[in-house]
Every structure is written in C-alpha cells, then in structure tokens.
C-alpha cells in the first residue's frame, strides 16, 4: 500500500489526530504565556513597590532632639511624678526639635510621656520642613520623696507626623532626669540626658512598623 493510498483511506482519522495535537500544543502555549505574563506582572509590581518605597523614604521626615541654652517666650510645666507638695527638683530646658530628614513633616504632634502622669502635649499641628527647627521651653519638676518612682526619673518624647504623600510616622526619644543638690535654691536641679533616639516608624492601621 502506497503512502498516498494510506492517507486517502485514513484521512478523517489523521485530521482528528492533527487537530488534537494542535489543540494540545495551543493549550501548552497558552499555559506558558500565562505563566510568563504572571511572572512579568509580578516583576512589574515588585519594581513598582520598590520604586514607591524608595520615593517614600526620600520624602520621609526624621527628627532629632537636643537642648539649647536659649529660651522661648512661654514655658510649659511637665510633672514627672504624681505629687508636688514636698521637696522638688526642677529642670528648665529649651528643647530643640529638628527635622533632619529629606521630607516635609506635616501635622506634627510633639508629646511627652511619663509613667506616673498623663501624657503632656508640647506642640500640635506644626509644619516642619527639612533642616528646620522648633523650640520649646519646658520646666520638668519631680517630687524627690515620691516613693512610687525610682530615680533617675525617666520619660519619653513621641513625635508624630505625616509626609506629603500622607504616610504617617512616629518616632520616640528616651530621656532621663537625675536630681542633684542646689544649695543656692530651695529646689534641687535635675540633669536632663537624652538616652536614645529611635528611627522613624511607619504607622500602618494605627500600628507602628519598624523600617529596615
């Protein structure tokens, strides 16, 4: 039997086989293209996320706190302990808040926390561009005989803000106060010391997330 005769006799069967093979190859090509498209889309999304993260970090504010010998017109008083009717230690400082980041800090909320007293708001709603500073005179006082508190006294500044993309950040600064006698005054002095300044944290769903 010649090849031509074989093809003539099995023309229908061969067409079915060829069509099936074509369909299988088409499905395999579609699956391959689909996987390739998903991989490409994932790569694009990853690149976009990396770009957005880089852009966000470039616009991220970052704060540094220090003290100055100067003073502002008005000072606020913050109690480090519950009572203030016994021998008192006092520290008056001009606190300097500087935006050392690259981005503008909007809606800045500057807070001080102490474990025995409620939170004190130092400043609220402030705008602080990069390389700009804000000053606030603060009088810290503490009852030296408050048995609930162990010296040195400790506290924490918290700075909250948003950037131009409405990303919200918070940052913490731990401070410590050590009373020292002052024979020239009815009040003892307190040495104010900044112990640690944390890196800014991104606030997501009201939770602070550390930035690596």
- CA distances 197 to 63, 64, 173, 191, 194, Å, are 9, 7, 4, 18, 8
Question: What is the distance in angstroms between the CA of the first residue and the CA of the last residue of the chain?
Answer: 77
Say if residue 39 is in the same domain as residue 122. Answer: no
Helix (H) or strand (E) holding 171: strand 168-180
Domain boundary among 40, 58, 76: 58
Quick check: 130 pLDDT over 90? Answer: yes
Task: Provide the pLDDT confidence category of residue 5 given band limits of 50, 70 and 90.
Answer: low
Which position has the higher pLDDT, 163 or 206?
163
Mean pLDDT for 152-166 is 89
Helix runs in the chain, H state only? 3-9, 11-58
- CATH number, domain of 83, equals 2.60.40
Please count the structural domains in the chain: 2
Please check whether residues 175 and 70 belong to one and the same domain: yes
Q: What is the pLDDT of residue 99?
A: 95
How much is the pLDDT for 153? 80
Q: Are residues 39 and 77 in the same domain?
A: no
Q: How far is the CA of 177 from the CAs of 13, 40, 151, 173, 186, in angstroms?
A: 94, 57, 8, 13, 18
92 and 179, same domain (yes or no): yes
Kindly report which listed range (26-30, 80-84, 191-195) carries the lowest average pLDDT score. 80-84
Confidence at residue 210, expressed as pLDDT on a 0 to 100 scale: 54
- Together in a domain, 138 and 88: yes
What pLDDT is recorded for position 163?
92
More confident residue, 119 or 158: 158
Does one domain contain both 104 and 187?
Answer: yes
**Nearest 5°: phi and psi at 2?**
-80, 165
Q: Name the most confidently modeled range: 16-20, 65-69, 125-129.
A: 125-129
Domain shared by 111 and 8, yes or no: no
The last residue of one of the domains, among 58, 74, 99, is 58
Q: Which domain holds residue 21?
A: 3-58
Among 26, 58, 90, give the residue marking a domain's end: 58
pLDDT tens sequence across 172-210? 999 988 888 888 877 788 888 999 999 999 888 765 555
- Residues 80 and 173: their CA atoms lie apart, in Å, by 16
pLDDT at 38: 79
Average pLDDT over the chain, rounded to whole? 80
Is 107 found in the same domain as 49?
no
Q: Which of 7-16, 84-93, 124-133 has the lowest mean pLDDT?
A: 7-16
User: In the chain, what percentage of residues exceed pLDDT 70?
Assistant: 75
**Residue 49: predicted pLDDT:** 67
pLDDT above 90: percentage of residues in the chain: 27
> What pLDDT does residue 168 have?
93
Q: Quick one: 89 and 120 in the same domain?
A: yes
In a shared domain, residues 149 and 90: yes
Identify whether 152 is preceded by a cis peptide bond (ω within 30 of 0).
yes
Task: Examine the domain organization and report whether 172 and 86 are in the same domain.
Answer: yes
- 35 and 82 together in one domain: no
Number of H-type helices and E-type strands within the chain: 2, 11
Cα dihedral: 74, 104, 53, 209 (round 10): 10
């Amino acid at each position: 039997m010649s090849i031509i005769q074989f093809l003539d006799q099995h023309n229908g069967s061969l067409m079915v086989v060829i069509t099936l093979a074509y369909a299988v190859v088409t499905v395999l090509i579609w699956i391959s293209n689909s996987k390739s498209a998903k991989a490409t889309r994932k790569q694009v999304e990853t690149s976009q996320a990396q770009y957005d993260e880089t852009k966000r970090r470039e616009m991220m504010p970052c704060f540094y706190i220090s003290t100055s010998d100067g003073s502002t017109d008005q000072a606020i008083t913050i109690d480090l302990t519950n009572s203030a009717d016994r021998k008192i230690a006092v520290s008056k400082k001009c606190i300097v808040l500087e935006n050392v980041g690259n981005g503008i800090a909007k809606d800045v909320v500057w807070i001080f926390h102490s474990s025995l007293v409620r939170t004190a708001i130092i400043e609220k709603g402030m705008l602080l561009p990069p390389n700009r500073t804000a000053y606030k005179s603060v009088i810290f006082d503490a009852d030296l005989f408050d048995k609930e508190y162990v010296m040195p006294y400790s506290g924490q500044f918290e700075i909250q803000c948003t950037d131009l993309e409405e990303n919200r950040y918070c940052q913490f600064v731990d401070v410590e106060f050590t009373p020292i006698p002052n024979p020239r005054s009815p009040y003892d002095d307190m040495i104010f010391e900044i112990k640690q300044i944390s890196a800014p944290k991104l606030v997501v769903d009201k939770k602070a997330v550390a930035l690596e």
